Amino acid sequence: PHAGPVESKNEAAMSELVPEPRQKPVVPMKPMGINTSLLGYIGIDTIIEQMRKKTMKTGFDFNIMVVGQSGLGKSTLVNTLFKSQVSRKSSGWNREEKIPKTVEIKAIGHVIEEGGVKMKLTVIDTPGFGDQINNENCWEPIEKYINEQYEKFLKEEVNIARKKRIPDTRVHCCLYFISPTGHSLRPLDLEFMKHLSKVVNIIPVIAKADTMTLEEKTEFKQRVRKELEVNGIEFYPQKEFDEDLEDKTENDKIRQESMPFAVVGSDKEYQVNGKRVLGRKTPWGIIEVENLNHCEFALLRDFVIRTHLQDLKEVTHNIHYETYRAKRLNGNGGLPPMTVETEENHESNL
């Protein structure tokens, strides 16, 4: 018996709401110039320009780590990515310079400016990785370094008097260099990616791809993808973090076709058909680094810098850092870490 009046109330409420949707089109989503219709132009779209101005004033941090055996052209590739000498130049090992006994971690910072946008770029190199006879657990110092950066950020964040802008040393992207064997991934590669893919965005890269024929390259890429899948290794962009259908479509294409990027790096310029190009000189001609028929360097560059740089930063902050933070605070009974800075931390800050 009570259903009647409730229904009629709902109907009345509905009839009041009906005209609402009809008024919506009056304010177009993307006003072309100034809209002089009934409500006119509000100017909400200027928020994008406001954000752009703010970001340009402050600049932003981007921290990229390179991991792989020596001799795979890691430094050269990073220099090629940013078109400047941003990574240490090691022309082989000098007599005095021994292969590090354990993995060392060297961070070099630079400020790069382009079109009025300032980027504080830090390149984190890992000499000694995979160069020993016994490479057991050589991923541990790298994982420790990544977690230390999360810890540093967390300490700043839980301070009562917080800095308005916390210096960001967290690793946003880890380029993992795979040797162009044409066979399969080594246990070391699988071990590293299995452990580290949970704490950092890993982008697998096949180095010195000019040592393989096109058929070998295609086959090797497919084999690497299969091995990563079989071993349950999630590289960036991770499937579960696609936010919408557009992201999924774009990222699926990258995951299924481009990854791992088969690249050639070079910081030498050559003249080809009257144009200056970055390339590598071989007895049978010049391999043009940015020519997609020659290698996939341009795909990697566009992916890391032109389309996914902001997303790499966001996934680091919202996923990897959040996971670390939750674990850390839970282990502490929900309280911020109370430890006084240890000597070890103090040394790492020096």
95-139 pLDDT tens trace: 455 667 788 899 999 998 888 888 999 999 998 898 888 888 989
CATH classification at residue 109: 3.40.50.300
Residue 4 forms part of a structural domain: no
Residues 235 and 251 sit within 8 Å (Cβ to Cβ): no
pLDDT of 31 strictly over 60 = no
CA torsion sign for 52, 55, 59, 62 is negative
Residues 320 and 200 sit within 8 Å (Cβ to Cβ): yes
Residue 19 forms part of a structural domain: no
- Please, which pLDDT band fits residue 242 given cuts at 50, 70 and 90? confident
User: 277: part of which helix (H) or strand (E)?
Assistant: strand 275-282
Question: What tens digit of pLDDT does each residue of 270-291 get?
Answer: 888 888 888 888 887 888 888 7
Residue 161 forms part of a structural domain: yes
Q: Which two tokens stand for residue 29?
A: 């989503």
Give the structural domain span for 244. Answer: 61-84+99-128+136-330
Residue 165 forms part of a structural domain: yes
**In this predicted structure, what is the pLDDT of residue 174?**
97
Residues 206 and 350 sit within 8 Å (Cβ to Cβ): no
**In this predicted structure, what is the pLDDT of residue 36?**
53
- Taking 3-state DSSP, the helix, strand and coil percentages for the chain, each rounded to the nearest 5, stand at 45, 15, 40
Report the distance separating Cα 214 and Cα 310, nearest Å.
32
Residue 318 forms part of a structural domain: yes
Residue 8 forms part of a structural domain: no
DSSP label at residue 18: T
DSSP label at residue 70: T
CA distances from 140 to 198, 257, 348 (A): 13, 31, 17
Number of C-beta neighbours around residue 234 at 10 A: 18
Report the distance separating Cα 143 and Cα 129, nearest Å.
12
Report the distance separating Cα 239 and Cα 9, nearest Å.
46
Residue 49 forms part of a structural domain: no
User: 15: part of which helix (H) or strand (E)?
Assistant: helix 3-17
Please state the domain count of the chain.
Answer: 1
Residues 62 and 313 sit within 8 Å (Cβ to Cβ): yes
DSSP label at residue 99: P
Residue 268 forms part of a structural domain: yes
Question: What tens digit of pLDDT does each residue of 278-325 get?
Answer: 888 888 788 888 878 888 988 999 999 999 999 999 999 999 999 999
pLDDT of 342 strictly over 80 = no
Strand, helix or coil for residue 305: helix
